[in-house]
Amino acid sequence: MKAFSFATDKGKVQIGLELDDTLYNFSEIWETYKQVKSKGRGPRLDFLQIMVEADFFHLETFQEVLETLQKIRPISHLKLRDPITYLPPVGRPQKVLCVGRNYQAHAEELGNTVPDEPVFFSKAPSALIAHQEKINLPKEVGRVDFEGELAIVIRKQAHNVSAKNAFEYIAGYSILNDVTARDLQRADIEAGRPWFRSKSFDTFCPFGPFLVPGEAIKNYRNLELEVKVNDERKQHTSLSQMIFGIEEIVAYISKHCTLQPGDVIATGTPSGVDQLNSGDVVKCHLSEIGVLRNPVGQ
């Protein structure tokens, strides 16, 4: 069971649901459920981010709605037809944070040492784009790389949480491509400057399409991440290879800054990062979560 955000033909934002390879309008399913359950009373659920912030984004919520309706009202008329205009699952996170050097082979390929505590940095939320949207290569910045990563979305405010309790603060899992202007990043690091700008160009943060409830993933370390450019495999790893696990990452970051509901954290990229060129198509595939596909242009 996977949720997503999409825009209707009239530009209205809605929540979608993927069930057994079929896509439904969950916002409308929810309205039907409210009619059955409480004569239409209750909040509207049009934004996935609001569903997360209201602490409604649980596997159980979806299951309860579907099980209730299955017995009384069919939902087949609420199926969505292609093409779907996807939006980033969470459109306005307060923060997009990324973990660097979280796979040994990737740290080595860029000539970096393996850190003894998580290295984290931020990307501008204005860089977010959806599944199928185009990554724009800015002129005169040199090499631009893809970095496929598992991303998590925060469920509730997290300050100084322990690794043991960290999963309570995770609403769900998704995919993020941490696109990076590599030459610019190297030059800024050498000059002792922050590398924020190399990570934050518009369109440098493809995200989605699906947000899978945390409860639906038994063990994220069993997931496999694969990135293909024009169908050629570039990155491939088991998430068991992460140096710092999600629980340590959430605990560590929350000691430095309070995480808010809807915040996004990308958990690092494995080895195999490479350059993107105009005309390429980059696909980040994460087992049990889905495929994030983006064309590249200028």
Interface contacts to Zn ion, rule CB under 5 A: 98, 147, 178, 269
Contacts of 212 (CB under 8 A, 6+ apart): 1, 2, 3, 172, 173, 174, 288, 289, 290
| Residue 38 beta carbon to Zn ion: minimum distance, rounded to whole angstroms | 44
| Minimum gap (Å) between residue 268 Cβ and Zn ion | 6
The single-letter DSSP state of residue 102 is -
Closest approach of Zn ion to the CB of residue 120, in Å = 10
Q: Residue 22: helix, strand or coil by DSSP?
A: strand
Could you tell me the smallest distance in angstroms from the CB atom of residue 99 to Zn ion?
7
Q: Smaller CB distance to Zn ion: residue 25 or 198?
A: 198
Separation of alpha carbons 89 and 68, rounded Å: 25
Given the complex with Zn ion, which of 15 and 225 has the nearer CB atom? 225
Residue 18 or 149 with smaller CB distance to Zn ion = 149
- CA 90 to chain CA centroid, nearest Å: 8
Residue 287: CB atoms within 10 A of its CB come to 13
Q: Closest approach of Cβ 269 to Zn ion, in Å? A: 4
Closer by beta carbon to Zn ion, 48 or else 266: 266
Which of 57-67 are b and which e, b meaning 16 or more Cβ less than 10 Å from the residue's Cβ?
bbeebbeebbe
Q: How far is the CB of 174 from Zn ion (least distance, A)?
A: 14
Q: Which is nearer to Zn ion, 270 or 290 (CB)?
A: 270
Nearer to Zn ion, 98 or 181 (CB): 98
Convert 188-203 to b/e letters by CB count within 10 Å (16 or more is b): beeeeeebeebbbbeb
Using CA atoms, how far residue 179 sits from 11, 70, 128, 246, 260, in Å, is 27, 42, 10, 21, 24
Cross-strand partners of 214: none
